[in-house]
């Protein structure tokens, strides 16, 4: 069947399409349908994922999948968390309103360094996937990947904060791992494993 992918983030869209590939769904991006981006007014990943999935399902009349995710740093009381994308918002980036990930990663690093050289660098990525159906039904699945923050950023693959995230048990950052390797251990893959077990089990 058809499924709207309710994200306007190209990096996420690519990963979601890849993770859904084996399931033969007809995935349609919110961008290609011209769906608006609803304001993410929630204070949790679950609330924001549901806001995005519901808005897309209502506007399209099709089932819609949304992903709300972010990076939480233990020593910063879980910040930036649900505000991970907001920390990269820039009024003018390369002449346009947009996002500057290097600036956002630097802000996190700066706050951590201000806490002193021995501050633990533990952090985790969260991913909440929500599916909403036009009749109002919905489901949510949560995933997580633990790791540590590194500086300076390394690697060119992935997106967002991948260059500063070293997953537990590895030396490379997410941005230095091949997509297949990231998909074996990521927060998004963890959430998708739960979604698949529930929605696509034979």
Instruction: Report how far residue 34's alpha carbon sits from residue 13's, in angstroms, rounded to the nearest whole number.
Output: 15
DSSP collapsed to 3 states, 129-145: EEEECCCCCEEEEEEEE
CB-CB contact of 133 with 60 (8 Å): no
Q: Which is nearer to ligand ITT, 8 or 121 (CB)?
A: 8
26 is catalytic: no
Is 85 one of the binding residues for ligand ITT (CB under 6 A)? yes
Is 124 one of the binding residues for ligand ITT (CB under 6 A)? no
DSSP letter for 80, please.
B
Binding region for ligand ITT (CB under 6 A) out of 19-27, 62-70, 111-119, 194-202: 62-70
- Which of 161, 167, 177, 192 touches ligand ITT by CB under 6 A? 161
Number of residues binding to ligand ITT, judged by CB under 6 A: 22
Instruction: Report how far residue 50's alpha carbon sits from residue 55's, in angstroms, rounded to the nearest whole number.
Output: 8
- Which of 19, 63, 64, 69 touches ligand ITT by CB under 6 A? 69
Segment 7 to 26, residues that bind ligand ITT, using CB under 6 A: 7-9, 12
Instruction: Report how far residue 58's alpha carbon sits from residue 55's, in angstroms, rounded to the nearest whole number.
Output: 5
Q: Which is nearer to ligand ITT, 12 or 54 (CB)?
A: 12
Is 160 one of the binding residues for ligand ITT (CB under 6 A)? yes
Instruction: Report how far residue 22's alpha carbon sits from residue 43's, in angstroms, rounded to the nearest whole number.
Output: 33
Is 162 one of the binding residues for ligand ITT (CB under 6 A)? yes
CB-CB contact of 169 with 181 (8 Å): no
* Active site residues per annotation: 68
């Amino acid at each position: 069947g058809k499924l709207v992918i309710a994200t306007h983030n190209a990096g996420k869209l690519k990963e979601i399409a890849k993770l859904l590939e084996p399931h033969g769904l007809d995935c349609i991006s919110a961008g290609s349908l011209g769906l608006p981006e609803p304001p993410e007014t929630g204070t949790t990943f679950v609330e924001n994922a549901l806001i995005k999935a519901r808005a897309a399902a209502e506007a399209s009349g099709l089932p819609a999948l949304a992903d709300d995710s972010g990076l939480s740093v233990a020593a910063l009381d879980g910040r930036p968390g649900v505000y991970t994308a907001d920390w990269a918002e820039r009024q003018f980036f390369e002449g346009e309103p947009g996002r500057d990930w290097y600036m956002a990663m630097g802000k996190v690093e700066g706050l951590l360094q201000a806490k002193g050289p021995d501050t633990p660098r533990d952090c985790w990525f969260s991913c909440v996937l929500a599916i909403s159906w036009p009749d109002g039904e919905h489901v949510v699945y949560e995933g997580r990947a633990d790791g540590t923050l590194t500086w300076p950023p390394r690697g060119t693959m992935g997106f967002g904060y991948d260059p500063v995230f070293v997953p537990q048990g590895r030396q490379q950052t997410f941005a230095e791992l091949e997509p297949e390797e990231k998909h074996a251990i990521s927060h998004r893959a963890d959430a998708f494993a739960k979604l698949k077990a529930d929605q696509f089990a034979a």
